[in-house]
Structure 1
Amino acid sequence: MTLIAGVDIGNSTTEVVIADTTTVPPEPCAWDRVPTRGAKGSPEAARRAARLVQRLARRSGFTPELVAMTPQQPVLTGVHALPRVQRAPGRLVILDDHPTTPAGNGVACGRPVAQGAEPPRGIAVILVASDPLSYRETADTIKRWRTSGIDVRGALLVGDEARLVHARVGSDLVIVDRVNADLALRCELIALEVNDFVVGALADPLYLLAHLELLQNEIPDATIVAAAVRESRCAVVGRLPVAVDNDLHQAGSLTFTDGSVVNLREARDGLATRPAGSTAHLVFANGTQQDVFDAWVVDIQSLGSPAALRRAAITPELAVSTLATTGDATVADLAFREVNPLPIMIVGNEARAAAVGARTTPGCAKDTVVIDLGGGTIDIITDGSVTGAGSGDLLSACIGALAGISLGAAEWVKQGPAFRIETPSIASSETLSQDFLPTRVPGSLVGWLAVNGPAGPLPFSRALTLGDWRLLRLAAKRAVIEDNVRRISGGLQFDSRTAVAVGGPVGDREILACLSSALPALAIGRGNIAGILGHRFAVAYGLVLLANQETQRT
């Protein structure tokens, strides 16, 4: 066998190395990577890999005689919005869903009344509009009620048209949109507040106690709700006739292999104290369920100070990464052959291939610890290996949520320090030095934080300071990478004093510091596969080496 192609279909990218196995060690002849299409393990991903092998062979002139792959074990990563509190305490409920377009300024309390109902006279009312598209009708109803003598203090809307309604009814009305109207109409009393900075009245438990007419034994409930809305610009709190179902604000649940079940919001502590692979089943708040081998969870709001999170307009969210229970080679094998008829050899697993490939880095020994940071998983390999969910894709999800940007932009923004555009020609760095920009930028970008993107400065936030962003970014890397590596490596014994880090996220200039903090006993360096491939392609080149060993045995 002369030419072998190692194909690594990852969660984020697909990498191929074609190597000449007549040399010792096999010499890489051609290599390339593309974004993975579809989910890892899917037919679409395998077909994309097959086309990459064909294109690389055609472009380089090196046509492989064998393709080496591993079973595909997919990882799912996503950001899931959460309610403000884990459960509705007693009779109190928080009715808004983190609206970004409230209108008015002030506090309003009253009895909720549906837009189509007959409003009572002599008491304060809060209009509740259930139709998200009827802002004109809602505005007309408010004006009609007020003209007839109804004391309308505020309005709650299902859609996001609060400012459209407010513009038509006057400036003395407090309006909050994106509200659970059905639940609001079940309440006896409602208090709502909109403030230019943060709420004050609804963050005061004594105010809630008095204006929602609570009992003295409900003071603890009022305290919980007040704390939950304290850093918000607006909030809506209602009082129900009786205590609500505890599942009303459930964030989802995670079941461990020992049978214990925890709320998903609280799963982080349970995951951190258990070895990787201790999870069994996960249920999200929307009812979606999946069996999982491992999971890692990051609470977005735990990553920064309240002031920084408020400036970034961060809403309560969890970033969750889950690793499927099993891997399968059959689907990828069949789909690959549909496009490329080359013979395929299924070799070992990704961790074994990563270890073999990573240890071809100059300076590595046979017992060097390998840390493989992929898009979806982290593998730590010594004599054996441990795989845990949560890596580059999870970090992108956290960065995207913190900055309010797309995952594509987050891939660039997460990679290192940012700068602030001071003038069209000058930028300030995180070290407070100032430098000329390579090219002038539009004046509209002055004041924005940016990073060097694929086509020049990539702006991503005007709300945050450089100091805020540095703290948030490093906190996200500690939560996703450092804490996770510490968890995954918990049961491992290291005979070596050195480690090599490989995989796409290792290109991040701040990742080695996270790894060194998690594993202080090891001297950790960045991989350079076969001395020429850099920190990527460890699995792909390792597959070539493993397949070559197998063919020589047979």
Structure 2
Amino acid sequence: MPIIAGVDIGNATTEVALARVEDGSVDFISSSIAYTTGIKGTLQNVTGVRRALSLALEQAGWPHEDFKRIDIIRLNKAAPVIGDVAMETITETIITESTMIGHNPSTPGGVGIGVGRTISIYDLEKTKPEDPVVVVIPESVSFEEAANMINLALSRGIAVNGVICQSDDGVLIANRINKTIPIVDEVKAIDRVPLGMQCCVEVAPPGRSVELLSNPYGIATIFGLSSDETRQIVPVAKALIGNRSAVVIRTPLGEVKERRIPAGELYILGPTGKRSINIDEGAEAIMEIVDANWPITDIFGQPGTNVGGMMERVRKTMSELTGLPLGEIHIKDLLAVDTMVPQRVVGGLAEEFAMETGVALAVMVEAQELPMQKLASAIESDMGVKVEIGGVEAEMAVLGALTTPGTDAPLAVLDLGAGSTDASLLRSNGQVELIHLAGAGNMVNTIISSELGIDDMELVENIKEHPLCKVESVFHVRLEDGTVRFFEKPLAPELFGRVALMIKEDFLSPILLDTSIEKIRDVRRKAKKEVFVTNALRALKRVAPAQNIRLIDFVVLVGGSALDFEIPSMITEELAKYSVVAGRGNIRGSLGPRNAVATGLVLSSAGRKAL
């Protein structure tokens, strides 16, 4: 019996279904999955296809890379697509007339509010008693020396009202001086703290956050600011909200320059012509323009802005990978989501960031031509096996999804991937509709990374994929749903009091962030809902008869993101409002949501049809 390999090259993974096919009968032997190499539909895919086929052969009990056992390799017919995500800031943090330190060290010293002129600790001897001061201490001065020098100054009647120090010595100094004053430590750029300037230091009691310096009117009161100056100081106050300690220093006019960068405009081409919208109008307004101008012909960004650069970067990347000219590459969809973006604060001395309102953008690019035949020829040459282009990907996805027990037409397939959300609809007359939409797993990662301020993308991926818990003792944790779980063996001491991820039943991974379990959970769920639930509704509306989702009976979720522990239930719950049966697919009754297109390619080779 001939052996057929169905190969589905996706944006993130390449899946294989291996089967014996003869006279319409299909006997599946094995299946496999490997990471896609390069952009879907380009020659870089050959390595990923080779790896996936090798794994399928091994699972069938045959030698690794014994490709001669395969009679035909069938590829999915699809245009190469590329998704990209960027954060475009709606507002920029701007500071004039002030320098701030608000990096929130874990162990500030003392408590209270102190106002005075900044001086070096070496200048304490020259200070007059009637001159209130805030002492600046470099790390070359030990905590014992600093405490002795401050106590000596206090004994002379000098008003030492606060301390800014470079080392992690806040508590050590506070315990050794004869006056309770606020001390902010761990200020790495101590040499950039301006001396001789009016300064306010605030340290809140344990469990509290600063109140005076997180209030623009409080800062105005301390420094005697005018209404215009108070308006300019708002970003300072916003950046200090939630901190236990903070410092604000008023600097001379013009020392910290004001700088503005336009957010940029989007130009959306469609049936109603060219529509434009500024990024600073927010995600809802952007998506209204996208929906009103559907189907989209192309999208451009305003030259000289971040959003314009993003659009052109995506086009250039696609052109280089496919060999197609820029003129034949078009952005066909865009998803915008309101989010919070950490922006570096101008004038900060400890790498301060303020959370500003922003827009996350995901775009989808499709090339007009289908270079799949070039890829097929490259695979055939590399492996010495006949390669043919199978059916359209949408039809193959439906054919594979129909192997999920309990399904029937009219049936829609939602392929939840990494770069895009794709929908296929099999209508009662056998016609299949298809749509590719921008935004999927990668966009969720970007939003989580931004809102939680995490640069480690492996940690971001784990936060997306695993539930949270709070370690309350060495023998028990409280899960994010409030339930308690006990362990027979004691947990590692470094986990105590930490928020952690339940990677496995018996393995916890701590999240080294000063962030509550509630906030992490809310950010994760919000990102998934605004990307996947939004795109599920958008996609189904596009392919449904008369754009009415209620006319669809069954929705099968496939793809990598359909394996997520909460995305399928979110979509199922939302689609229940439309009386639609929706859930995670189970391809061939055993593979879960994976392998739908690869399975469909094998079935179509045997003459199987959806209807």
- TM-score interval, smaller chain: 0.7 to 0.9
**2:554 maps to amino acid:** T
Deviation at 1:420, TM superposition (A): 4.2
Taking a change above 3 Å as real, the CA distance of residues 370 and 37 of structure 1, as seen in their structure-2 partners, is same
Q: Take 2:134 and 2:381, find their aligned partners in 1: how far apart are those partners?
A: 62
In our comparison, the structure showing a higher alpha carbon Rg is 2
Identity of aligned residues (%): 22
Taking a change above 3 Å as real, the CA distance of residues 206 and 315 of structure 1, as seen in their structure-2 partners, is closer
CA deviations 1:211-260 (Å, max 9, x no partner) are 34421344444456434532334556566736987754x59546241453
Deviation at 1:114, TM superposition (A): 12
- Please state if 1:326 is matched with 2:352: no
What residue ranges of structure 2 are gaps of 5+ in the alignment? Answer: 63-68, 269-273, 315-330, 342-351, 426-431
Q: Take 1:13 and 1:221, find their aligned partners in 2: how far apart are those partners?
A: 49
Equivalent residues in 2 for 1:356-367 (5 A)?
356-367=399-410
Name the residue aligned to 1:316: 355
Deviation at 1:516, TM superposition (A): 3.2
Supply the RMSD in Å over aligned alpha carbons: 5.3
Deviation at 1:501, TM superposition (A): 1.1
Deviation at 1:370, TM superposition (A): 1.7
Please say if residues 9 and 46 of structure 1, whose CA atoms lie closer than 8 Å, have aligned partners that are also in contact: no
CA deviations 1:396-415 (Å, max 9, x no partner) are 44456649594435545434
Taking a change above 3 Å as real, the CA distance of residues 55 and 490 of structure 1, as seen in their structure-2 partners, is closer
Please say if residues 422 and 447 of structure 1, whose CA atoms lie closer than 8 Å, have aligned partners that are also in contact: yes
Q: Take 1:542 and 1:93, find their aligned partners in 2: how far apart are those partners?
A: 64
Name the residue aligned to 1:414: 464
Name the residue aligned to 1:230: 241
Taking a change above 3 Å as real, the CA distance of residues 259 and 437 of structure 1, as seen in their structure-2 partners, is same
Name the residue aligned to 2:212: 201
- Please state if 1:73 is matched with 2:94: no
Taking a change above 3 Å as real, the CA distance of residues 49 and 404 of structure 1, as seen in their structure-2 partners, is same
Q: Take 1:41 and 1:127, find their aligned partners in 2: how far apart are those partners?
A: 63
Q: Take 1:451 and 1:222, find their aligned partners in 2: how far apart are those partners?
A: 39
**1:390 maps to amino acid:** G
2:310 to 275, 289, 292: 289
Taking a change above 3 Å as real, the CA distance of residues 484 and 243 of structure 1, as seen in their structure-2 partners, is farther
Taking a change above 3 Å as real, the CA distance of residues 443 and 151 of structure 1, as seen in their structure-2 partners, is closer
Please say if residues 7 and 49 of structure 1, whose CA atoms lie closer than 8 Å, have aligned partners that are also in contact: yes
Q: Take 1:65 and 1:368, find their aligned partners in 2: how far apart are those partners?
A: 29
Q: Take 1:167 and 1:334, find their aligned partners in 2: how far apart are those partners?
A: 71
Q: Take 1:348 and 1:529, find their aligned partners in 2: how far apart are those partners?
A: 18
Name the residue aligned to 1:483: 534
Name the residue aligned to 2:582: 524
Q: Take 2:602 and 2:394, find their aligned partners in 1: how far apart are those partners?
A: 14
Equivalent residues in 2 for 1:295-306 (5 A)?
295-298=334-337, 301=340
Find the residue that maps to 1:316 and give its secondary structure. strand
Deviation at 1:536, TM superposition (A): 1.2
Find the residue that maps to 1:214 and give its secondary structure. coil
Deviation at 1:68, TM superposition (A): 0.5
Name the residue aligned to 1:309: none
Deviation at 1:203, TM superposition (A): 1.5
1:163 to 151, 162, 168: 168
Deviation at 1:357, TM superposition (A): 2.7
Query: Which sits farther off after the overlay, 378-387 or 270-279?
Result: 270-279
Equivalent residues in 2 for 1:211-222 (5 A)?
211-222=222-233
Please say if residues 399 and 600 of structure 2, whose CA atoms lie closer than 8 Å, have aligned partners that are also in contact: yes
Name the residue aligned to 1:310: none
Taking a change above 3 Å as real, the CA distance of residues 97 and 28 of structure 1, as seen in their structure-2 partners, is farther
Equivalent residues in 2 for 1:227-306 (5 A)?
227-235=238-246, 241=253, 247-248=259-260, 250=261, 253=264, 255-257=266-268, 258=274, 260-263=276-279, 267-273=282-288, 274-275=290-291, 279-281=299-301, 289-291=310-312, 293=331, 294-298=333-337, 301=340
Q: Take 1:245 and 1:334, find their aligned partners in 2: how far apart are those partners?
A: 58
CA deviations 1:25-64 (Å, max 9, x no partner) are 7443221113445665676554133222134225424525
Find the residue that maps to 2:552 and give its secondary structure. coil
Q: Take 2:74 and 2:592, find their aligned partners in 1: how far apart are those partners?
A: 22
Taking a change above 3 Å as real, the CA distance of residues 507 and 93 of structure 1, as seen in their structure-2 partners, is farther
Deviation at 1:113, TM superposition (A): 9.6
Please say if residues 254 and 262 of structure 1, whose CA atoms lie closer than 8 Å, have aligned partners that are also in contact: yes
Query: Which sits farther off after the overlay, 533-542 or 464-473?
Result: 464-473
CA deviations 1:375-412 (Å, max 9, x no partner) are 12112333533322222233344456649594435545
Deviation at 1:295, TM superposition (A): 4.2
- Please state if 1:510 is matched with 2:566: yes
Corresponding residue pairs, total? 525
Deviation at 1:442, TM superposition (A): 3.4
Q: Take 2:570 and 2:279, find their aligned partners in 1: how far apart are those partners?
A: 28
Deviation at 1:287, TM superposition (A): 9.9
**2:437 maps to amino acid:** G
Taking a change above 3 Å as real, the CA distance of residues 212 and 262 of structure 1, as seen in their structure-2 partners, is farther
Please say if residues 198 and 230 of structure 1, whose CA atoms lie closer than 8 Å, have aligned partners that are also in contact: yes
Deviation at 1:373, TM superposition (A): 0.7
Equivalent residues in 2 for 1:366-445 (5 A)?
366-382=409-425, 383-399=432-448, 402=452, 406-415=456-465, 417-437=467-487, 441-445=491-495
Taking a change above 3 Å as real, the CA distance of residues 347 and 24 of structure 1, as seen in their structure-2 partners, is closer
CA deviations 1:497-531 (Å, max 9, x no partner) are 32111112222232233213443212212212233
Name the residue aligned to 1:306: none
Q: Take 1:245 and 1:348, find their aligned partners in 2: how far apart are those partners?
A: 60
